[in-house]
């Protein structure tokens, strides 16, 4: 059973990658900024590489914002200081946007300290309260997505409830097994990417990055199917 779900998940990742390559815009919202499915694939790539090289994903402070050579690095990082948080997003997040547009958008969101680095990545420095607000807004976008899956345009017939823990490392999907089919397991791919993205923005160490999704029988509370982001791509 577990092998089957990862077969479908792997197929989904391939489809998403193809969509990205041909430039199809599939958008999700985070902190009032638009990010394409390419960014979610970037998060998965980041998490996968971090398993074999925990050092990846950390910002090289000597190479950001100092006129160095362009980099193909696609890492996302968050560094927490005593009073502030720095978040660096890769250049791929800002394709088609000018530096002025990036700065203006950040200022509108109350982020005044913005650096467009030589490799095209952008570093935001914000207060801890602003960082907390950003994470809260991101969780709200996940809640909206879940609402759509339970009773909305993206409704999955067998899903009766979806819950996640405080740090978004575990999602529990309650299902009516009489209506469930394994193809519906593909619907939860966004939970892996969303959870990993949340962890990364929250400064979680790369070696600790993991999101688990459980499928639970609503009548018996039995976990009958489960998967981990660490298994993606294996």
Number of domains in the chain: 1
Q: Which two tokens stand for residue 135?
A: 């994470």
Token duo for residue 74: 């696609």
Quick check: is 51 in a domain? no
Asked, for residue 81, whether it belongs to a domain, the answer is no
pTM of the shown model: 0.64
Longest CA pairwise span in the chain (Å): 60
**Rounded Cα gap, residues 37 and 26, in angstroms:** 6
Q: Please give the chain's pLDDT, 234 residues, in tens.
A: 544 444 444 444 444 433 333 233 323 333 333 333 334 434 433 333 333 343 333 333 333 334 334 444 456 777 777 788 998 888 888 888 899 999 999 888 888 899 999 998 899 999 999 999 989 999 999 999 999 999 988 999 999 999 999 999 999 999 999 999 988 888 999 999 999 989 888 888 777 889 999 999 999 999 999 999 988 755
Structural domain contains residue 207:
yes
Q: Which residue segment(s) compose the domain that 209 sits in?
A: 2-18+133-231
Specify the residue for token string 């560094």: 79
Q: Are strands 122-127 and 84-89 parallel, antiparallel or unpaired?
A: antiparallel
Phi/psi at 30 (nearest 5 deg)? Answer: -145, 120
Q: What pairing do the DSSP bridges indicate for beta strands 212-217 and 223-228?
A: antiparallel
Q: What share of the chain is helix, strand, coil (3-state, %, to 5)?
A: 45, 20, 35
């Amino acid at each position: 059973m577990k092998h089957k779900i990862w077969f479908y998940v792997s197929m989904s990742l391939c489809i998403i990658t193809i969509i990205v390559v041909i430039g199809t815009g599939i958008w999700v919202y985070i902190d009032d900024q638009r990010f394409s499915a390419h960014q979610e694939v970037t998060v998965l790539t980041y998490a996968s590489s971090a398993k074999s090289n925990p050092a990846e994903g950390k910002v090289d402070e000597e190479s950001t914002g100092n006129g160095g050579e362009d980099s193909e690095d696609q890492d996302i990082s968050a560094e927490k200081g005593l009073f502030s948080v720095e978040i660096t997003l890769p250049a791929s997040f800002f394709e088609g946007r000018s530096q002025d547009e990036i700065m203006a958008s950040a200022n509108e969101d109350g982020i005044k300290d913005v650096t467009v680095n030589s490799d095209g990545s952008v570093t935001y420095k914000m207060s801890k309260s602003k960082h907390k607000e950003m994470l809260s807004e991101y969780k709200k976008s996940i809640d909206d997505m879940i609402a759509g899956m339970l009773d909305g345009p993206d409704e999955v017939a067998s899903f009766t409830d979806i819950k996640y823990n405080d740090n978004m490392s575990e999602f529990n999907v309650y299902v009516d097994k009489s209506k469930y089919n394994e193809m519906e397991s593909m619907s939860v791919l966004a939970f892996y990417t969303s959870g990993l993205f949340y962890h990364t923005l929250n400064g979680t160490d790369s070696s600790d990055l993991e999101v688990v999704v459980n499928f639970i029988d609503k009548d018996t509370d039995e976990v009958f199917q489960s998967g981990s982001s660490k298994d993606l791509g294996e």
